[in-house]
Chains A and B, each alone.
Chain A
Amino acid sequence: MQSFIILLIFWIISPFFMGVILKVKAFFAGKQGPPVLIHYYTLMKLFQKASVYSLTTTFVFRLSPLMILLTSLSAMLFLPIAGYPAVFSFEGDMILICYLFGLGRFFTIIAALDTGSPFEGMGAAREAYFSVLSEASLFMIFIYFYRLHGSISLNSYLSSYHTIELWKYGQSTLLFIIASLYIVLLIENTRVPVDDPATHLELTMIHEVMILDHSGPDLAFIELGACTKLLFFTCILSRLLFPYNLNYAGLNVICFGSMLILIYVVIGITESIMARFKMTKTPKFILTSFALAFFATFLNWG
């Protein structure tokens, strides 16, 4: 129950974290930037609106926002937050999470193709392409974890004292994994330098172009889904970076939360100081994360 409440709290404040990224970017650009709560305002606005649907679309288009939110929310169920055990856990849940994200991606892509728009098709093709590679690096990271501990459940890595043990076994190779996970995070959530969510040209987008036709509450669902997915990856990173269990429950959550904000700030800094890669360079970037995880696994083989 405790885990569930914490999960709910973090989920509810996840749009706030997204606001942090915007604030950091504004700081680097020397602007004041939108308020930190901007995403709540956007969501409220979108929830109140009605939708415009293209005549080309079918039920798939209406179903996909739900599936995107559903899959990222259900992935959160398996995630231990701030050292508390996950709401739900079984041996092999990491694989299920990966495939849940795959299910969400499947629906995002077919919803994009449902509109018949060539731009959205382009985005869909890129999403499909990059996810093939990022999935491989994600599984390489799983293999690394499995070699350390012999389990494929997030609970046995991120809850209570397990993370400390992970550092004890993995030592410095875990830094490779953190870098690798950070790259996977950028890809899976289509952030700069893989994709620029703020670009104004549809031709160069990946994720944003696929949701061009969504509007109203549907768009809000997608935005929320994106927030949740980013939260999922940052939570893993945050726990790996702050593996300690403090005696005071509240302090634990606060430390975890501040680490979380720090990661969002780092994402913001990355977005501010880097430009989007050329499309041809992105696969190399993704394979970098694979190489990192691969070498970490073999350095730690023994």
Chain B
Amino acid sequence: MSLFSKANKEALTSPLNLNNPVVVQVLGICSALAVTSQLEPAIVMGLSVTIITAFSNLIISIIRNSIPNRIRIIVQLVVVAALVTIVSQVLKAFAYDVSVQLSVYVGLIITNCILMGRLEAFAMMNKPWPSFLDGIGNGVGYALILIIVGFFRELLGSGSLMGYQIIPDACYNIGYMNNGMMTMPAMSLIIVGCVIWAHRAYNKEL
């Protein structure tokens, strides 16, 4: 079996579009609210979830046949929590600035529905390599939506991107104002709704 057989490619790419965890499966909405008021935390959160989903999928898939059915959720949770804790400890020792930024997200990552959803739905019944790809695919699919939402919220809410001012002062001088609503969590739901609308209008089969 080749590394990138048709089924494996499917596992990697379908979450990016037709099986996107946020806009199609509607998972991970809670963290999409919390971290998207600016672009940078959205990117950081997307990256972290991608890495953690990939490796927790891999580990759970390796030990899937030994897990007692009745405590499988607890086992999954322990694996995810241990992984996140180890990663944050290593970052704290070797990339302190990143770890300070991530410390807020550690709790959000452990309880992210996408992680549990993929472990339960895919890793428990598939081989390690496809599970790993599925984890990467879902993480990137999640990150994509977060970045889209973060882009609009930061641009319209603070007039900047990645902390750099984008909308020129001249606009403010003629009366343009940042939309304070955009910095409120409720607006990210509305933007996610708009993304789902656009996505479904484009993909007729959904």
Q: A and B: real partners?
A: no
